[in-house]
Amino acid sequence: MPFDISTLDTQPIWLSLKLASITTFILLLLVIPLAWKLSHSSARWKSLITAFSTLPLILPPSVLGFYMLLMLGVNGPIGKLTQELGLGTLAFSFPGLVIASVIYSFPFALQPIQNAFDSINKKTLEAAATLRASPLDRFFSLVMPIAKPGIITAAVLSFAHTIGEFGVILMIGGNIPGETKVLSVAIYDHVESLEYAQAHILSGGMVIFAFVVLFLLYFLNTASHKNQKAAR
Amino acid sequence: MKNLTEAKDLAATKNIAAAFNLVRNNFELDVDIEIPGCGVTALFGSSGSGKTTLLRCLAGLEKSTRGNLIIGDEVWQSDTDFMPPHKREIGYVFQDSNLFEHLNVNDNLRYGFNRIDKQQRRISIDQAVSLLGIESLLSAMPAQLSGGQKQRVAIARALLSSPNLLLMDEPLASLDLSSKAEILPYLDSINTALSIPMIYVSHSPDEVVRIADHMVLLEAGKVRAQGAVNELLTRTDLPLAHLNEASAVVSGKIKEHDQRYHLTYIHIADNDIATSIIGRDIGTEVRVRILARDVSIALQPESRSSISNVLPCTITELSATHDLAKVLVKLNLKNEQLLAHITAKSADTLGLKTGMSVYAQIKSVALMKS
């Protein structure tokens, strides 16, 4: 049976891109202040928070999805709260997916930014303080520009990792077209229904996307290292 | 450098009173010092004596310090208040320059400059750049600069935040000899051109005698002595007078030049001291260093000697040194103090005693700054 490309449902692609963009944006807003706080915290606190936020890296997505379902569901603590606020439950909804994705991709945002902040020389900031820069001023005029490569890496990894998310989404979001049916779920759906042509197009697209993202990441990192070396 | 005299008057009134206590691991800094609000004060001591820590306390970089810091009539630290470093009108030069590696020289210079109100700027970028001779470096990245160049940029950067107090943490320590020689004249010119009081950390007696007017001697976190440089250099109870390069520094005015013999006469304490010709105008204030080992003592003004500088002095102290063959003689020359290292044998032969009038023969003097 010949396949007409115009009949391909592109909605999951847009949904995935929307989910990944919003997730990345929220992650950067959360992680940048947290990482900055952690880079000035005691080793014990730092290890505790880092270990906790790195859990999603190790746990099977199903475990993560299971607990989130319990939390966000009708009888879960967050579910009850959202119901009392008149928001309904977040399970099987797009906002629920965003929350799950933020947690799932958290370590991918935290690690690069944390590393970038940790490598900033404390003396650099002391010099800035003696040049009349307030703590906030130092953060925006020095910390952010110096940590820029780490922040870009964090953003790219979070975005790509959210696009590639499957298990957690299946657990918490299900398969509602336009709401929770993202790219990876759509591929699963096509395969289940033996629509291999559609599955091929979407899967091939994912492979190319993943490769291009990783290539750009490594290329940009190598290039910026070379620039730094050239300046030396 | 408009308002130069104004700045001078202002600076003169801003004496610094500091008392700090800081306990860390197996080190305790416990100091109470008074620093004049003009000229150069050296914080002098061996490594581990707490010089840098004291400087960091003055800058507000040591948060866990208890104590009081009063600059003129401003309270920077007390039991209840702690002014954060960015609110203190200081310039700080770090031992390892500490430039912003991701910014070029020009942007490094502008970092502090841009954060000062226009009306409060006392020095322009152009002035700082020419004062430190870094015109050709403006577009370079810090990583491309030599140690001496980096330090000159760091000094210019600190000056451009128009400080009322310049703090320098061994700015020459990480440099080789030629880079040191490259920077020292710039430090002199800052001192004379900008009249910003400067606190200068050093463990090198050579640097201190060259640059400082006032000195705080630190030992194991405590103040051993503080006062005018020559007073401390010539105090026989302090280690400085017992160094091999023990010396006195005295100030005077250039009186006349002798073109025939290429000599300059400097008028010091009612006497004229001859030195190799100095290319400065008559009347210029200069400071000379007289090494204790270059001073010998005679009972009569020796006329048949190659030494041309013979000064009448009174012996104020005789003390032993760690070299049993030598004694340290402290001499009073019209209220200026000099030191002489002579052999114990000569001291006995001449019958030297405290209160005796003698003649100091000075083999050579070195010009320090003018």
Confidence band for B196, pLDDT divided at 50, 70 and 90: confident
In this prediction, residues B328-351 reach a mean pLDDT of 90
**A137 contacts B98? CB cut-off 8 A:** no
Nearest residue to B228 (alpha-carbon basis) of B219, B238, B364: B238
Nearest residue to A117 (alpha-carbon basis) of A26, A33, A11: A33
Does residue B6 surpass a pLDDT of 50? no
Q: What is the pLDDT of residue B58?
A: 93
pTM (predicted TM-score): 0.83
Specify the DSSP element, H or E, that contains B220: none
Q: Which residues of A touch B102 (CB under 8 A)?
A: 145-146
b/e per residue, A17-39, with b = 16+ CB within 10 A? eebbebbbebbbeebbebbbebb
Phi, psi of A63 (to 5 degrees): -65, -45
Q: How is B149-161 classified by DSSP, letter by letter?
A: HHHHHHHHHHHTT
* Among A130, A141, A232, beta carbon nearest to B92: A130
Positive/negative CA dihedral, B204, B210, B216, B217: positive
Q: What is the pLDDT of residue A227?
A: 60
Residue B163 C-alpha, separation from nearest chain A C-alpha, in angstroms:
9
Choose, out of A121, A125, A131, the residue to mutate when testing the contact with B (most B CBs < 10 Å): A131
Is the separation of the CB atoms in B369 and B210 below 8 Å? yes
Give SS3 for B296.
strand
**A232 contacts B111? CB cut-off 8 A:** no
- Residue in A closest to B97 by C-alpha: A127
Q: What are B301-317's pLDDT values in tens digits?
A: 877 777 788 888 999 98
Give SS3 for B14.
coil
Cα angle, residue B357 at apex, residues B352 and B360 outer, rounded to 5°: 80
In this prediction, residues B127-141 reach a mean pLDDT of 90
Residue A146 C-alpha, separation from nearest chain B C-alpha, in angstroms:
7
Q: What is the pLDDT of residue A132?
A: 94
The ipTM (two decimal places) reads 0.82
Confidence band for B241, pLDDT divided at 50, 70 and 90: confident
Specify the DSSP element, H or E, that contains B358: strand B357-362
Cα angle, residue B249 at apex, residues B247 and B253 outer, rounded to 5°: 145
- Determine the Cα–Cα distance for residues A231 and B140; give it in Å rounded to an integer: 9
**B116 contacts A132? CB cut-off 8 A:** yes
What mean pLDDT is reported for chain B?
87
Q: What are A153-163's pLDDT values in tens digits?
A: 999 999 999 99
Residues 6+ apart with CB under 8 A from B74: none
Choose, out of B111, B159, B169, the residue to mutate when testing the contact with A (most A CBs < 10 Å): B111
Q: Which residues of A touch B94 (CB under 8 A)?
A: 123, 126-127
The residue type found at A202 is: L
**Chains A & B: contacts with CB separation below 8 Å:** 65
Specify the DSSP element, H or E, that contains B170: none
Q: Which residues of B touch A (CB under 8 A)?
A: 59-61, 84-88, 90-92, 94, 96, 98-102, 111-112, 115-116, 141, 143-144, 157-158, 161, 167
Residue A118 C-alpha, separation from nearest chain B C-alpha, in angstroms:
16
Specify the DSSP element, H or E, that contains A51: helix A43-58
**A130 contacts B85? CB cut-off 8 A:** yes
**A127 contacts B85? CB cut-off 8 A:** no
Positive/negative CA dihedral, A11, A14, A20, A25: negative
Give SS3 for B1.
coil
Phi, psi of B12 (to 5 degrees): -65, -30
Q: Which residues of B touch A131 (CB under 8 A)?
A: 86, 111-112, 115, 157-158, 161
Q: What are B60-82's pLDDT values in tens digits?
A: 999 888 999 999 888 999 989 99
Does residue B276 surpass a pLDDT of 90? no
Is the separation of the CB atoms in B147 and B175 below 8 Å? yes
Stretches in chain A below the pLDDT threshold 70: 1-4, 225-232
Q: Which residues of A touch B (CB under 8 A)?
A: 123-124, 126-135, 137, 141-142, 145-146, 231-232
Q: What is the pLDDT of residue A91?
A: 83
- Determine the Cα–Cα distance for residues B307 and A76; give it in Å rounded to an integer: 99
Does residue B14 surpass a pLDDT of 80? no
- Residue in B closest to A134 by C-alpha: B86
Confidence band for B5, pLDDT divided at 50, 70 and 90: very low
Q: What is the pLDDT of residue B99?
A: 94
**A127 contacts B143? CB cut-off 8 A:** no
Does residue B156 surpass a pLDDT of 90? yes
Among B333-337, B351-355, B365-369, the least confident range = B365-369
Choose, out of B102, B159, B167, the residue to mutate when testing the contact with A (most A CBs < 10 Å): B102
Nearest residue to A31 (alpha-carbon basis) of A137, A151, A119, A168: A151
Q: What are B16-32's pLDDT values in tens digits?
A: 999 999 998 889 999 99
Residue A222 C-alpha, separation from nearest chain B C-alpha, in angstroms:
17
Is the separation of the CB atoms in B240 and B203 below 8 Å? no
Residues 6+ apart with CB under 8 A from B336: B230, B248, B250, B268, B269
What mean pLDDT is reported for chain A?
88
Q: What is the pLDDT of residue B115?
A: 93
Q: Which residues of A touch B139 (CB under 8 A)?
A: none
**B111 contacts A130? CB cut-off 8 A:** no
Residue A5 C-alpha, separation from nearest chain B C-alpha, in angstroms:
49
Give SS3 for B352.
coil
Choose, out of B100, B109, B121, the residue to mutate when testing the contact with A (most A CBs < 10 Å): B100
Give SS3 for A141.
helix
